[in-house]
Amino acid sequence: MTVAIGETATFDVTVTLPDGNVDDAVLQVLLPDIGVSVTPVSSQIISVGSDLTIGSGLGAGAAGSACTPPSPTCLAWDLGDVANANGPGPNTIVVRVVAMVNDNPDNTEADVGLPVVARLESQQSDGTPNAPLLDNTAFDIVVPELSIEKLTGNGTDVAQVAAADVHRFTLTVSNPAAESSATAQNVQVSDVLNADMLWVDNANVTSTCPGFAIAASPADGTTGTAQFTMTNLALNSNCTIAYDVRISNTVVSPGSYSNTATVSWDSTTGSGQNRARSATDSATLQTVNGAAITKTVHSTSVVSTDESQHTAGVTDATIGEEIEYFLTMTFDEGDTNNVELRDTLQDDAAGVLQYLSASVYSVGGNITVSSPTPVVAGNSVTFAFGDVSNTPDGLNDTNDQIVVRVTARVVNDPRNVDGDVLNNAAVLTFDGAPAGGISSSVDVDVVSPALNLSNDYSDFSDGTATVSLTLENTGTADAYQSVITETFDASIFDVNSITATTIPAGYELVVSEAGGIITVTLQTLGDETDPAQVLSPGETANFEFTIDLLPGASATSITSTADASATTLPGDDATAQANERTVTASDPANLGIPALSAAKTVVDDNGGNVEPGDVLTYTITVNNTGGGAATNV
C-alpha cells in the first residue's frame, strides 16, 4: 500500500472471537511513530457481530480512546468481558482507523514498510492473561518529484536570435520513476518572460499535458507571465508545452536574455497536510552584435590624381590635396548602446594628414539616433552617438547605416614626400564590442611632381644665340603653373632682339628688363583646365628662342641660369596658394663668344729693298682668343 504525503489511509481491523467468553478484552491499533509523522484522523467501531455482547457497552460508532500508556499514534477500545453466544450470527468486531501522513520533514519516500499493528489483549476467568493476538499491515510513503526542462528552438538551453525574430520555447515536465514515487496533483507551470521577449498569440501554444489549460498569458505583443495548468501527471510520464515569443525591436545587441520556467505541484488534493513542491529551469537567448565599419576614400579635390602610382589599388593624393573619407557603420537590428566612433589621422615622422572637418553625412531610414557634435583632439575626431536603435525590417541595406564624412588634407609638411603612405584609421566601440572595438582603415599614397630642366645654347651664329630649354616632369603627379625664367646681361644682349621660335601650346614668352637685367619668362597662360598647360608625369615641354649680342660686346664667355618652378595644385586662389607645394629645378648654360685679332706681314721674295718687279708675299694671321667659335669670318 502506498500513501502520499497529505493523503489519508483507512485501516480496518477485524476481530473474530471464539464461542464463549473473553474477559477484560482491550483492542489496540498502533500507527507507526518512529522517524515518521502519522496522525489519526478518525477511529470507530464499524460493526459488532449479533452473537456478541460487549461488557463495556461499546458499540458501533464508538471512537477509540487513549492507550495505556498514552501515545498519539495508539488507539484503544476497552471491550470488557465479551460473551459470544453459541449461535449462527456473526462473531466479529470491525474497527476502522483513518490516518494521515503529515507534511513533515521526517516523512520521505525512503519511508517504506511502515507497520500498522492491531493487538487484542484479554484474560481468562481466573485472571490469567491470554497470549495477545497480533496482526499487522504495512504501507509506503510516496512523494511526487517533478522536473522541468526548458529548451530553445534549437534543442539546447542557449540560442542566438536577432531583433524581431519569432522563437519557440518547449517546456518538458517529467515525473520520472527514478526520482519520484507518486502521481503529482494540481500541476501548474509558470514562465516569466524576459522584458525583451513578447508573447505571441495563444493560438500558437501546443501541449501534450493531461487536462492542459492556459490559465493566464500576456496580451499579444507584450511581455509578462504565462501560466499553464494540468490535472495531474502520473508517475513515470512526461508532457510538453510549446509556445512562441517575438524578440523586441529594441533588444540590445550584444546581450544575453534568460527567463525561467517553474513547475509547481501538490502531493495530494484537498488536504491541509499537502506537500507543495516546485522546480525550475532556464533558457537563454543571445543577441550577437554584427555591427561593422567600412572606411573608404570617397573623393579627392584634384581630379587628375587617381590611384596605383605607387601601390596597386591605393588612392593617390598630391601635396595640398583634400581627401574626403566616408566611414560607413552598419548596425544590427535592435539597439546598440553607447556607440562611439573615433577617427585618427596619421601624424608622425612618416607623414601627416591635417584634419579639416567631420560631420554625419547620412542616417539610414531605420536608424534612430541623436546626431552628435564631433570632438576634435589633436589628430583624432570622435563622435559619441550614444544608443543607436535600428527598427527591424528583415533587410540588411542602407537603412541600417550611419555614414560619417571626414575631410583631411595632405598638408605641405616636410614629412610628406612622394611615396609616403598616409593612414586614416577608424575604431567603432559599443557595449559588448570586442576588446579594442571594431576597426577599419584606408591608406593614400603621396604623389608629387618633380622637375628636371635642361638649359643649353644650341647655336650661335652671326651674333645670334639660340637658347633651347626642356622641362620634364619626372614625378608622379601633375605639375601646374609651370614657369621658367632665365636672365641675361642687358649690356651684352639686345633686349629687343629676343624672338620665340618654339613655344608649346598653352605657354607664352614674356620679356622684361629692369636694372640692366633682361628676364625671359616662359609660363602657362593661366587656364588650368587646359591639358596643354598641365605637365603630366613623364611629359616634357620644349622651348626655344633667339637673342642677339650687342655689337662690340667684349665678353668671351657668358653663363646664364634657367630656373623652373611648378605647383602641386591647380588654380591661384588663396586656399590653393596656402597649401600647395612648389617644386623647382635649375640648370646653367654657357655661351662662348669669339674674340678675333689679325696680324699682317709682307715678305719680298727677292730680298733686299723692294724694287719694281719684285714679288711680295703677304701673310694675314687671324686669332680667336674668345670662348666660342667664330663663324662666317
Predicted local confidence at residue 243, as pLDDT: 98
CATH architecture of 2-142: Sandwich (2.60)
Decide which of 270 and 363 is more confident.
Answer: 363
| Type of residue found at 76 | A
Query: Any idea of the CA torsion for 508, 509, 513, 516, to the nearest 10 degrees?
Result: 140
Q: Structure pTM? A: 0.75
Q: What is the mean pLDDT of residues 512-521?
A: 97
Confidence band (pLDDT; 50, 70, 90) for 624? Answer: low
Q: Cell 464461542 belongs to which residue?
A: 19
Going across the sheet that includes 354-363, the strands are 292-300, 322-330, 401-409, 354-363
Three-state secondary structure call for residue 574: helix
pLDDT in tens, 376-388: 999 999 999 999 9
Give DSSP secondary structure letters for 83-101: EE-SSSS--EEEEEEEEEE
451-592 CATH pick, 3.40.630.30, 2.60.40.1510, 3.30.1490.20, 3.40.50.720: 2.60.40.1510
The CATH code that applies to domain 294-445 is: 2.60.40.740
pLDDT in tens, 96-146: 999 999 999 999 999 999 999 999 999 988 889 999 999 999 999 999 999
pLDDT in tens, 177-220: 999 999 999 999 999 999 999 999 999 999 999 999 999 999 99
294-445 matches 451-592 in fold: yes
Q: Are 84 and 52 in contact (CB under 8 A)?
A: yes
Predicted local confidence at residue 628, as pLDDT: 59
pLDDT in tens, 556-569: 789 999 999 999 99
Low-confidence winner among 328-337, 344-353, 446-455, 609-618 (lowest mean pLDDT): 609-618
Helix (H) or strand (E) holding 38: strand 38-48
Confidence band (pLDDT; 50, 70, 90) for 597? Answer: low
Predicted local confidence at residue 601, as pLDDT: 77
Predicted local confidence at residue 579, as pLDDT: 93
Confidence band (pLDDT; 50, 70, 90) for 608? Answer: low
| C-alpha closest to that of 41 among 272, 350, 244 | 272
Computed over every residue of the chain, the mean pLDDT equals 94
Q: What is the gyration radius of the CA atoms in the chain, in angstroms? A: 58
Question: Is the pLDDT score of 625 beyond 70?
Answer: no
pLDDT in tens, 14-32: 999 988 889 999 999 999 9
pLDDT in tens, 285-335: 999 999 999 999 999 999 999 999 999 999 999 999 999 999 999 999 999
Alpha carbons within 13 A on the beta-carbon side of 315: 23
Decide which of 592 and 486 is more confident.
Answer: 486
Question: Is the pLDDT score of 84 beyond 80?
Answer: yes
Question: Is the pLDDT score of 554 beyond 80?
Answer: no
Confidence band (pLDDT; 50, 70, 90) for 595? Answer: low
Decide which of 572 and 160 is more confident.
Answer: 160
Contacts of 102 (CB under 8 A, 6+ apart): 5, 6, 37, 38, 39, 273
Three-state secondary structure call for residue 203: helix
CATH superfamily of 147-287: ntegrin, alpha v. Chain A, domain 4 (2.60.40.1530)
Sketch the domain layout of the chain as residue ranges. Answer: 2-142, 147-287, 294-445, 451-592, 594-632
Predicted local confidence at residue 630, as pLDDT: 64
Three-state secondary structure call for residue 533: helix
Q: What is the mean pLDDT of residues 538-555?
A: 91
pLDDT in tens, 164-176: 999 999 999 999 9
Query: Any idea of the CA torsion for 327, 328, 329, 334, to the nearest 10 degrees?
Result: 150
Question: Is the pLDDT score of 481 beyond 80?
Answer: yes
Sign of the dihedral through C-alpha 519, 525, 528, 530: negative
Predicted local confidence at residue 626, as pLDDT: 56
Using the 8-state DSSP alphabet, how is residue 371 labeled?
Answer: P
| C-alpha closest to that of 496 among 481, 479, 513, 483 | 513
Distance of CA 500 to the CA centre of its chain: 68
Decide which of 89 and 303 is more confident.
Answer: 303
> What is d(CA 596, CA 619) in angstroms, rounded to the nearest whole number?
16
Decide which of 553 and 583 is more confident.
Answer: 583
Question: Is the pLDDT score of 510 beyond 80?
Answer: yes
| C-alpha closest to that of 246 among 171, 196, 191 | 196
Three-state secondary structure call for residue 455: strand
Question: Is the pLDDT score of 629 beyond 70?
Answer: no
Percentage of the chain lying above the pLDDT 90 cut:
85
Question: Is the pLDDT score of 531 beyond 90?
Answer: no
| Type of residue found at 246 | R
